[in-house]
């Protein structure tokens, strides 16, 4: 190692941490803007959370007690400042609907959504990259270009199909049409509501995995269509470059040229999508969790909105905003790591 290697390494590390610190500071206006917008929308919506818990027979005293308990009689600006003060110290308050700390509710539901999102991306990217690369390799080849057309049509169909249609098709196929066969899969919930408590630890893991397949497969397949089309365009652009022609001129096989020399550079824009797709996966979980009765953040936030549970709604969107910001930072770091030409201090 040369005498200047240590100094260079320190300089790179300093630039790296400075880059991260800069990105984190830029997240703060995003988080503030999201919670402010949600607060304003909730203030403009008709009624209050108290209206969800009272009836015509509720006495005025009880209503006044609920209004005082949740500070709904305070001016909007005081409740807004109180919300910002609580968020600054990571205190989400107490849920109006459930009457328990919001942090405990999020801690209960968030891991389930993270698990579902992990499975989704584990299906989405390998499938999308494989299909997109295969399409690019098949394009223009005699007798097999029909496969490229077929895969393109299938990807376009999946990309344009409403999500609930695909979800219902999967439920019908694996839960009803294949019922009684080895391919039968549960269509809802996270575990078997009757037998789960009586299963051994191994059987419980198997039961959870079975319940995870359909929602994970639905989200993974639905999102892989866009990745496949994006990957196809990226590979087609890369394999027309001069260094690819040089590799072919050396007598390398076509699959080696595409997979070894072309795929790595074609993956660079897809790496960017990896971080940016995190918010999309979490947003899509709202639909899939309702359809498959999956106990995650999607169901939590929908129930909170119907109940006008302001603390829980604010906390859920705050978490989503943090995930969006973290996904953007991950995309930037992954791209810089994959392409050494990109500098952290740029």
Over residues 243-279, the pLDDT tens digits come to 778 877 887 777 777 777 777 778 777 777 776 677 6
Question: In this structure, is residue 23 part of a structural domain?
Answer: no
> What pLDDT does residue 105 have?
92
What is the rounded CA–CA span in Å between residue 259 and residue 301?
A: 43
Q: Is the pLDDT of residue 302 over 70?
A: yes
What is the rounded CA–CA span in Å between residue 133 and residue 236?
A: 9
The residue ranking higher by pLDDT, 50 or 304, is: 304
> What pLDDT does residue 18 have?
80
For residue 256, the enclosing domain spans 103-338
Region 184-211 average pLDDT: 87
Q: Is 95 exposed, middle or buried (0-12, 13-18, 19+ CB in 10 A)?
A: buried
Our CA angle for 91, 97, 101, nearest 5°, is 25
What is the rounded CA–CA span in Å between residue 105 and residue 108?
A: 5
Q: Which residue has the tokens 């209960």?
A: 108
Q: Is the pLDDT of residue 134 over 60?
A: yes
Q: Is the dihedral of CA 21, 22, 25, 27 positive or negative?
A: negative
Return the closest-CA partner of residue 221 out of 161, 179, 262.
Answer: 161
Give the CATH number of the domain where residue 317 resides.
Answer: 1.10.3720.10
Region 106-110 average pLDDT: 90
Q: Is the pLDDT of residue 156 over 70?
A: yes
What is the rounded CA–CA span in Å between residue 140 and residue 338?
A: 30
User: What are 137's two structure tokens?
Assistant: 């390799």
What is the rounded CA–CA span in Å between residue 81 and residue 75?
A: 10
> What pLDDT does residue 2 have?
52
The tally of domains found in the chain comes to: 1
Over residues 57-68, the pLDDT tens digits come to 778 888 888 788
Question: In this structure, is residue 76 part of a structural domain?
Answer: no
What is the rounded CA–CA span in Å between residue 71 and residue 74?
A: 5
Q: Is the dihedral of CA 120, 121, 124, 127 positive or negative?
A: negative
Question: In this structure, is residue 97 part of a structural domain?
Answer: no
Region 195-202 average pLDDT: 86
> What pLDDT does residue 244 have?
78
- Banded pLDDT at 8 (limits 50, 70, 90): low
- Banded pLDDT at 102 (limits 50, 70, 90): very high
User: What are 251's two structure tokens?
Assistant: 């007598």
Question: In this structure, is residue 231 part of a structural domain?
Answer: yes
For the ranges 30-39, 119-128, 256-265, 294-303, which has the lowest average pLDDT?
A: 256-265
Q: Which residue has the tokens 């399409």?
A: 135
Region 280-298 average pLDDT: 80
Question: In this structure, is residue 263 part of a structural domain?
Answer: yes
For the ranges 27-41, 113-127, 139-153, 237-251, which has the lowest average pLDDT?
A: 139-153
Q: Is the pLDDT of residue 84 over 80?
A: yes
Q: What's the first-to-final CA gap in the chain, in angstroms?
A: 27
Containing 25, the helix (H) or strand (E) segment is helix 5-44
Mean pLDDT of the chain: 81
Q: Is the dihedral of CA 245, 251, 254, 260 positive or negative?
A: negative
Q: Is the pLDDT of residue 115 over 80?
A: yes
Question: In this structure, is residue 24 part of a structural domain?
Answer: no
Q: Is the pLDDT of residue 337 over 70?
A: no
Q: What are phi and psi of 129, to 5 degrees?
A: -65, -40
Our CA angle for 137, 273, 281, nearest 5°, is 115
- Banded pLDDT at 140 (limits 50, 70, 90): low
Question: In this structure, is residue 143 part of a structural domain?
Answer: yes
Do 140 and 239 touch, CB atoms closer than 8 A? no
> What pLDDT does residue 7 have?
53
Provide the 8-state DSSP code for 190.
S
Question: In this structure, is residue 343 part of a structural domain?
Answer: no
């Amino acid at each position: 190692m040369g005498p200047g290697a240590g100094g260079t390494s320190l300089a790179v590390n300093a630039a790296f941490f400075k880059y991260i610190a800069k990105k984190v500071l830029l997240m703060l206006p995003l988080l503030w803007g999201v919670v402010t917008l949600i607060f304003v929308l909730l203030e403009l919506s008709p009624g209050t959370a108290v209206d969800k818990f009272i009836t015509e027979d509720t006495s005025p005293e009880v209503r006044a007690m609920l209004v005082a308990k949740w500070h709904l009689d305070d001016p909007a600006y005081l409740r807004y400042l109180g919300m910002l003060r609580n968020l600054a110290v990571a205190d989400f308050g107490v849920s109006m609907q459930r009457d328990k700390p919001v942090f405990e509710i999020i801690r209960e539901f968030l891991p389930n959504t993270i698990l579902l999102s992990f499975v989704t991306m584990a299906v989405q990217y390998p499938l999308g990259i494989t299909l997109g690369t295969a399409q690019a390799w098949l394009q223009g080849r005699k007798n097999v270009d029909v496969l490229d057309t077929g895969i393109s049509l299938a990807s376009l169909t999946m990309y344009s199909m409403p999500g609930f249609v695909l979800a219902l098709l999967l439920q019908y196929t694996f839960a009803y049409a294949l019922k009684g066969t080895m391919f039968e899969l549960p269509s809802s919930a996270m575990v078997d509501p009757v037998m789960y408590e009586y299963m051994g630890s191994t059987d419980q893991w198997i039961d959870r995995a079975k319940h995870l397949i359909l929602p994970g497969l639905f989200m993974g397949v639905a999102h892989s269509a866009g990745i496949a089309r994006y990957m196809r365009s990226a590979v087609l652009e890369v394999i027309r470059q001069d260094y690819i022609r040089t590799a072919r001129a050396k007598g390398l096989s076509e699959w080696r040229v595409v997979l070894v020399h072309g795929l790595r550079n074609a993956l660079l824009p897809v790496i960017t999508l990896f971080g940016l797709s995190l918010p999309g996966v979490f947003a899509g979980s709202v639909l899939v969790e309702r359809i498959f009765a999956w106990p995650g953040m999607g169901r939590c936030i929908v129930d909170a909105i119907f109940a006008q549970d302001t603390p829980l709604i604010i906390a859920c969107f705050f978490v989503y905003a943090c995930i969006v910001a973290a996904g953007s930072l991950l995309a930037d770091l992954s791209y810089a790591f994959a392409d050494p030409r990109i500098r952290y201090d740029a």
